Amino acid sequence: MDIDKLIDYLNVEQIDKYVFVGQSPAKPSRIFGGQVLAQCLNAAGRTVDEDRPAHSLHAYFLRPGNPNKQILFEVDPIRDGGSFTTRRIIAKQDGIPIFNMSASFHKMEEGFEHQMPMPPAPEPETVETDEEYWEKHAERLSNVLRPPNHFPVERRNVHRRDYLNPQPMDPHQQFWFRVQKELPDDHRLHQVLLAYISDYGLLGTAMYPHPVSPAQDDVQAASLDHGLWFHRPFRVDDFVLADQDSPSAFGNRGFSRGSFYNRDGVLIASSVQESLARVRPKKA
């Protein structure tokens, strides 16, 4: 899938003032959580004045989505204030909620500003792409992992893990990513694409300290909830660093955090996620 096709999927169709419809790629067998997250943000943003970009969203993954069925997005305009606008969005299939989200939008203001510095990371051009890694290991990986060309964003993993032979690692990873196409100066489009990408990697980071991976047949893994904050304007058609860690896991729930920096070291967004990861008992 190329980036133009992804943008088409994320650009939901408006069928009423606060109702939208979206489609999904036919593969994989269930909908990628970042897709529904991004589609909900797109739907909500279409009901908000253009001078109010999103600054935060909080979401729950309720049920697996079926990629062969359309998704209905119902937007509830719960608040239109002087500086902030709030929307609540429910995504449904066959009338059943699969995802809900609250999003807040803020008219840009000048004021206090600070940030923590970007952690050390190699330059993106020095890190191999997912495609280059796949070419080296396709024979080993093809039976358990999808080739990276299904994900229409260039990724360069700094801390790459062997998913076929997972060894315990520190719960921290970094990867650079970018859209390999010049995009228009549309803050909504860049935010929607970052929302899509923000669901990548957090679940896996929570599994790094343990000798398991989502690629194993006996592992059940899924995102449970997701939070995302947009701090500053940014572009996703230039390299962005995702720095992720997982400070805790307990009771088969892993907690992960992410920070996103442009290549100049500016903190542009932050994310948090709790995920489910359990090993199914082996059948006798």
Residues designated as active site: 199, 223, 273
CA–CA separation, 19 and 11 (whole Å): 13
Consecutive H or E run containing 98: strand 96-106
Before 64, cis peptide (omega within 30)? no
Gyration radius of the chain over CA positions: 19
Cα angle value 236/237/238 (rounded, 5°)? 90
Distance in angstroms (rounded) separating the CA atoms of residues 102 and 78: 10
Query: How far, CA to CA in Å, does 123 sit from each of 70, 158, 171, 177?
Result: 40, 10, 21, 12
Residue whose token pair is 């991004």: 38
